[in-house]
Amino acid sequence: MNEPSGLSRRRLLAGAGALFAGAGLAGCENTTTPVRTAEGGGGDGIMGDPTAGGPVDAAGIPLARRDYPVTLPRIADPVKAGRPERGGELQIYNYADYLNPEVLKAFGEQEGVSVRVTTFNTLDEAYTKLSTGRFQFDVIFTAPDHLPRLVGRRLIQPLNFDLIPNLRTEVWPELHSPFYDVGPRYSVPYTLYTTGIGWRNDKLGDFDPGELGWEAFWRAGDYRGRVGVLDDSREGLGMALMRRGVTDLNTEDEAKLTQAADDLIELNEIARVKVAITGYETLPAGRMWLSQVWSGDMLNAVISYLPEGTSGDVLSYWYQRAGGPVFNDCICMGANAAKPVLAHRFMNYLLDPKVAYDNFVGYVGYQPPITAIDAEALFAEEILPENLRNCIVTPEDYANGNAYLALTADGRRAWDQAWARFRNG
Amino acid sequence: MRRWGWLATPGLAWLAAFFLVAFYAIVAVGFGNVTDVYEPVPHWNPLDWNVGYMLQALDDLLPGGRSWGVFLRTLLYVGLALALSLAIGYPVAYYVSRHARGRTKVVLLVLLVAPFWISYLMRMFAWTNLLDSQGYAAQALNALSIDSLFRAVGLLDGDDWLGGQPIAVILGLVYGYVPYLILPLYAALDRIDQRLIEAARDLGASPAGAFRRVVLPLSKAGTLGGIVLIALPMFGDYYTPDLMSGSPRTAMIGNTINNAVQGGPDKALGAALTLLLSLFLLVFMLYYLRVLRREEGT
C-alpha cells in the first residue's frame, strides 16, 4: 500500500528537503492544540487524565474501550440550575429525520420556544462545520466515538445532570455511566442500534444468514446488483473483518485491513454491491434484496417507507448475537449554547418514556435505552412486525456486542485508505 | 471600447469572487496539509506550498497508481458518452436547424430547451424510479426485448438496470448532458449560410459531399464547443454513477474525489486530484480555443 501523503511529506522534510528548497516547506504542523483541563495539566501530557497510558487519539485523549473506560477531561464547569430560557429558538444539530417532528412541536409548545433543527449528513461533516466556530447550537447529536475530539476542540461543554433526572430514573443502568464518558460528563444516550443483515424474504426464499453469517454476502452472486453495503468505512470493512472471524473491530493491523479491503473488492466482483446508506428505503421498495443495514433503519422502513401494497412481513433482519456491532448514539450540548438550561430540559424530555416511545415508534425507528419501553410488547401488540424482532437491542446484546470506537490518527488513516481502495472499484 | 469597459466590472467581480477565489482555495488546500484529525489546512502563501499531496495524487493517477483504473474507466465512459451524444445530438440539431420549418421548428426548439427547466439531479432521480424493476422505463425496455438484446451482446448483466451496470451510467451521462450539446450545435448549424450549400450543389457536389465538405467543416467549432461544454462536467460527475449504479465497479474519478473530500482522511489529496483533473481538461480547452481562433482568422 502506498504511503499516506501526510507521512510522505514528513519524510520529504526529513530526507529530501533540499530538493524542494524553493517550495519553502513549512515546519511540523498540528493545528490541534490540546486543551488544558480543569483538573490541571499534570500526568503524561494526556490532558491530565488519570487513565493515561493507553492509546490516544489525535487530541491526546485516551481511546475508550469497553474494558478501558475513559473519563473525559472537564474543560469547563457545568451550567448552574436556573430558570429555563424562554422565547426565541432552541438550536438543534442532528441528522435528517432523526427526531419526530411531533415530539419537537410538543416540546416547543411546552417550553414556549420554537425548535429549529439544522441537519448534517455525516458526523465528520458536523465536526468540520462545528470547528469553524461559526455556528451556535444548543443541542448536538453525535456518536460516542466522536466525543473525544469534540471535547478536544472545546466544541461541547459538560452537562449538569441534576437537570437531567430521567437519566438515572428511566435509562438502562448500563448507560448511567458509560465506558466512553465515565461519570457521565458530556453526554446522554439517545438511541441504540445493531448492524446486521436486512433482506427481502419474499425474494430470497429460505435465505438464512443464521448459519453463514456475514459470509452470506460472498455467496450472493445470484442477486448481484441487488446487494448493498453501508457507505461507512468502519461498517463496510468491519463486515469483511467479521467474516474472517476477527473480533476486534478496532484493530489497526494493516494486514487485516488489507485483507478486508481485498475481500470487499472480491465481494464487488461477486455481487456488484451498491454502497449506500439508504437501505431503509431501497429494501422496502424492492430495489435491494440483501443489504448491510442498521437495525433502526429496518424498523424505520416499516414505519415510514413501505410502498403501497407491500407488507412489513417481507423484511427480515439478522444480527450476529455474539460480538456483532452494537452501540448507541448520544446527545451533547454545544460549547456556546445560548439556552443551556433549556438544552438540558430537552435532553431530559427525550429520555421521558412516553416521549421516547413516540419518537421511536412514531417516527425514528431507532430504539431508546429506556427501561419502561417493553420491546417484547411491541411485537405482542403487533405494533412492529414479528419478523423484525431481531431489530430490538437487549441489555444482553449491548453487553456482549462489539462497537466501532475511536482510533489513533494513524489507525484511522489505515482504515480510510483501505476503504478508498475498495471504493475505487 | 474603453468607454464601455466598466460594463464588464460586475462580471469580472463575480468571476473574481466566485471562481478565482474559490479556485485558489482548492489550490491552497491541494498544496496544503491535513491535521491529525483530518481537517485540511490550506497553505495560502505559495512559498509555503507542500507538494506531498500533489505528488501523491500524480502517483495515484499514473499507470499502476491507486486511481489509475478509475481514471481509465472515466476516460472510457466519457468517451463513449460523448460519441453517443454526438450520434444522437448532431442529427437532431441538423434537422431542427436545416429542415424544420415554421411552427414545427418552434415546437422542436421549445422541446430542446425543456430539459433545462428541470434540474439535472431531479432528472437523474426520476430515472432511479423509471429504471427500477417495476419502473415504467424498465418494463418498456423489457417489453421491447431491449434487455435481452443488451444481455446478448454483453452490455447488461442480469436483469437489473440499476444494479451496477456500466451501460446504465454511460446512458445516464448521455441522457443528462445531450441537451447541452444540441443547443450549441443547433446554433452553429443554423448560422451556416444556406447559399454555401446551394453553391456546393451547383458545382456538382452530391448531398453527402456537400455535407462533408461544407456543413461539417463549418460546424466544427460549434461541435467542438458542444463537446467541451459536456465533456468538462462529465469528467467531474459523481452523482450520475452514484444514482444509476452506486457500485464501486462503475466509480468515476469524480467519485474518488468526492470520497476523499467528503469524509476521507485526505481532503488535500482530493483537492490535488481536482487540480490535476482540471489541468487535464485544460488541454481540451486549449485545443478548442485554438480551433476557434483559427476559424475566426479565416
Beta-carbon contacts of B20 under 8 Å, excluding residues fewer than 6 positions away, are: none
Peptide bond before A34: cis, by omega within 30 degrees of 0?
Answer: no
The answer to whether B56 contacts A2, with C-beta atoms less than 8 Å apart, is yes
Residues B183 and B250 in one domain: yes
Q: Cβ A274–B41 below 8 Å, yes or no? A: no
Asked whether the predicted pLDDT for residue B298 surpasses 80, the reply is no
Q: Which grid coordinates belong to B121? A: 439531479
Residue A88: phi and psi, rounded to 5, are 70, -155
At B90 the pLDDT is: 95
Inter-chain touch A58–B165, beta carbons under 8 Å? no
CB contact under 8 A, A26 and B157: no
Question: Which of B36, B50, B53 has the CB atom closest to A58's CB atom?
Answer: B36
Number of domains composing chain B: 2
Chain B contact probe: residue of A272, A282, A291 with most B CBs at under 10 A: A272
Tell me which chain B residues have a C-beta less than 8 angstroms from the C-beta of A5.
34, 52-53, 55-56, 266, 268-269
In a shared domain, residues B231 and B252: yes
Residue B55: inside a domain: yes
How is chain B classified by DSSP, letter by letter? -GGGGGGGHHHHHHHIIIIIHHHHHHHHHHTSEE-TT--EE---SGGG---HHHHHHHHHHSTTSTTHHHHHHHHHHHHHHHHHHHHHHHHHHHIIIII--HHHHHHHHHHHHGGGGS-HHHHHHHHHHHSSTTSHHHHHHHHTTHHHHHHHTTS--SS-TTSS-HHHHHHHHHHHHHHHHHHHHHHHHHHS-HHHHHHHHHTT--HHHHIIIIIHHHTHHHHHHHHHHHHHHHHH--HHHHHHT--GGG--HHHHHHHHHHTSS-HHHHHHHHHHHHHHHHHHHHHHHHHHHHHHH-
Strand ranges in A148-285 using DSSP code E only, listed in sequence order: 156-157, 188-200, 227-229, 274-275
Q: Is A265 left (phi over 0), alpha (psi -120 to 50) or beta?
A: alpha
B85, B8: one domain: no
| Axis crossing angle, helix B68-94 with helix B253-262, rounded to the nearest 10 | 120
Question: Could A225 and B251 be called an inter-chain contact, meaning their C-beta atoms sit closer than 8 Å?
Answer: no
Cβ atoms within 10 Å of A161's Cβ, excluding its own: 18
Radius of gyration over every alpha carbon of chain A, rounded to an integer in angstroms = 22
Using a pLDDT cut of 90, give the percent of chain B over it: 52
Q: Are residues B219 and B95 part of one domain?
A: yes
Task: Give B 77-106 residues with CB within 8 A of chain A.
Answer: none
Confidence of residue B256 (pLDDT cuts 50, 70, 90): very high
Q: Pick from B37, B54, B243 the residue to mutate for testing the A interface (most A CBs within 10 Å).
A: B37
Write out residues 154-193 of B within 8 Å (CB-CB) of A. Answer: 157-158, 160, 162-165
**Grid coordinates of B263:** 469524509
Contact B35 A29 (CB under 8 A): yes
Instruction: Report whether pLDDT(B223) > 60.
Output: yes
| Res. B43: pLDDT tops 90 | yes
Both B5 and B24 in one domain: the answer is yes
Q: Is A119 helix (H, G, I), strand (E, B) or coil?
A: strand
Given a cut of 50, whether residue B76 has pLDDT beyond it is yes
Which chain A residues touch B32 with a CB distance below 8 Å? Answer: none
Contact: A6, B163; criterion CB under 8 Å = no
| β pairing state of A290-294 and A227-229 | parallel
- Cell, residue A170: 428511566
B53 occurs within a structural domain: yes
Q: Which of residues 36 through 65 in chain B touch A, CB cutoff 8 A?
A: 36-39, 41, 43, 47-53, 55-56, 59-60
CB spacing of B264 vs A420 below 8 angstroms: yes
Instruction: Compare CB distances from B251 to A12, A59, A425 and report the shortest one's residue.
Output: A425
Same domain, B150 and B268: no
Statement to judge: residues B93 and B119 lie in one domain: yes
Query: How do the residues of chain A divide into helix, strand and coil, expressed in percent and rounded to 5?
Result: 45, 15, 40
pLDDT (0 to 100) of residue A11? 32
Query: What digits encode the pLDDT tens for the residues B183-217?
Result: 999 999 999 988 998 999 999 989 899 989 999 88
Contact yes or no for A412 and B56 at CB 8 A: no
Does a structural domain hold residue B269?
A: yes
Asked if the C-beta of B262 comes within 8 angstroms of chain A's C-beta atoms, the answer is yes
Query: Could you tell me which of B239, B97, B240, B271 has the C-alpha nearest to residue B174?
Result: B240
Residue A215 DSSP label: G
Question: What string of H, E and C letters represents the secondary structure of B59-124?
Answer: HHHCCCCCCHHHHHHHHHHHHHHHHHHHHHHHHHHHHHHHHCCHHHHHHHHHHHHHHHHCCHHHHH
> Given an 8 Å threshold on Cβ–Cβ distance, is A9 in contact with B250?
no
Which of helix, strand or coil describes residue A383? coil
Residue A324, min C-alpha distance to chain B (Å): 24
> Are A128 and B67 in contact (CB < 8 Å)?
no
A360 CA: distance to closest CA in chain B (Å): 28
**Gap from A157 CA to chain B (nearest CA, Å):** 20
Based on the fold, state whether residues B60 and B94 are members of the same structural domain: no
A197-229 burial: b if 16+ Cβ within 10 Å, else e:
bbbbeeebeebebeebbbebbbebeebbbbbbb
Residues of A in contact with B53 (CB under 8 A): 5, 9
Q: What is the pLDDT along chain A (425 residues), one digit of tens a residue?
A: 333 333 333 333 333 333 333 333 333 333 333 333 333 333 333 344 444 456 777 667 788 998 889 999 898 999 988 888 888 999 999 998 899 999 999 999 999 999 999 999 888 789 888 988 889 999 999 999 999 889 988 999 999 999 999 999 999 999 999 999 999 999 999 999 999 999 999 999 888 898 899 999 999 999 988 999 998 899 999 999 999 999 999 999 999 999 999 999 999 999 999 998 889 999 998 889 999 999 999 999 998 888 888 888 999 999 998 889 999 999 999 999 999 999 999 999 999 999 999 999 999 999 999 999 988 888 888 888 888 999 999 999 999 889 999 888 889 889 988 999 999 87
From the list A258, A262, A313, the residue with the least C-alpha distance to A284 is: A313
Nearest to B253 by CA among B272, B230, B268: B272
**Residue B2: predicted pLDDT:** 67
Q: Concatenate the DSSP letters of all residues of A307-369 into one string.
A: PTT--GGGEEEE--TTT-BEEEEEEEEETT-S-HHHHHHHHHHHTSHHHHHHHIIIII-PBP-
Q: Are residues B156 and B29 in the same domain?
A: no
HSE, side-chain direction, 13 A CA sphere, residue A377:
6
Interface check for A26 against chain B (CB to CB < 8 A): the answer is yes
Do the chains contact at A58 and B35, CB–CB below 8 Å?
Answer: yes
Give B246's contacts in chain A (Cβ within 8 Å): 274-276
Distance between CA B126 and CA B243 in Å, rounded? 10
| Nearest-CB residue to B33 (from A29, A57, A416) | A29
Q: Is the ipTM of this complex over 0.90?
A: no
Residue of B nearest to A407 (CA): B37
Are residues B127 and B218 both part of a single domain?
A: yes
State the residue for C-alpha cell 467528503. B262
CA B250/CA B81 separation, integer angstroms: 14
Q: Taking CA B161 as the corner, what is the angle to CA A297 and CA A207, rounded to the nearest 5 degrees?
A: 50
CB contact under 8 A, A274 and B163: yes
pTM of the model: 0.83
B252 part of contact set with chain A, CB < 8 Å: no
Share of chain B above pLDDT 70, in %: 98
Chain B residues whose CB is inside 8 A of the A30 CB are: 35-36
Q: Are A391 and A317 in contact (CB under 8 A)?
A: yes
- Cβ neighbours of A153 in B, within 8 Å: 37
CA distance B236 to chain A (A): 15
CATH number of the domain residue B198 falls in: 1.10.3720.10
pLDDT for residue A349: 98
Residue B1: its pLDDT value, please?
A: 55
A25 has a chain B CB within 8 A of its CB:
yes
Any domain includes B295: no
Question: Is residue B34 within 8 Å of B58, Cβ to Cβ?
Answer: no
B127 lies in the same domain as B110: yes
The answer to whether A3 and A11 are in contact (CB under 8 A) is yes
Determine contact, residues A356/A176, Cβ cutoff 8 Å: no
Strand A188-200 with A290-294, pairing: antiparallel
Q: Are residues B7 and B111 in the same domain?
A: no
Cβ contact A160:A79 at 8 Å: yes
**Short-list B136, B131, B140, B143, CA closest to B171:** B131
| Cα distances (Å, whole numbers) of residue A102 to A90, A107, A109, A311, A362 | 15, 9, 11, 25, 9
- Weakest-pLDDT range from A22-36, B137-151, B196-210, B244-258: A22-36
| Cβ under 8 Å to A: B residues 138-157 | 157
A123-138 b/e (C-beta count within 10 Å ≥ 16 → b): bbebbbebbeeebebb
Residue B290 falls inside a structural domain: no
- Tally A–B CB contacts below 8 A: 151
In B, minimum Cα distance to A123 occurs at B263
Q: Which of A290, A301, A405 is nearest to A56 (CA)?
A: A405
Residue B8 C-alpha, separation from nearest chain A C-alpha, in angstroms? 34
B287 in any annotated domain: no
Q: What is the pLDDT of residues B79-112, one digit of tens each?
A: 999 999 999 999 999 999 988 888 999 999 999 8
Whether residues B247 and A274 touch (CB distance < 8 A) is answered with yes
Closest CA to A144 of A187, A99, A175, A185: A187
Domain that holds residue B20: 1-66+264-273
Task: Decide if B137 is inside a domain.
Answer: yes
Residue A311 CA, distance from chain mean position: 29
Q: Please report whether residue B143 resides in a domain.
A: yes
| Mean pLDDT (chain B, rounded) | 90
- Which residues in chain A are contacts of B56 at CB distance < 8 A? 2, 5, 8
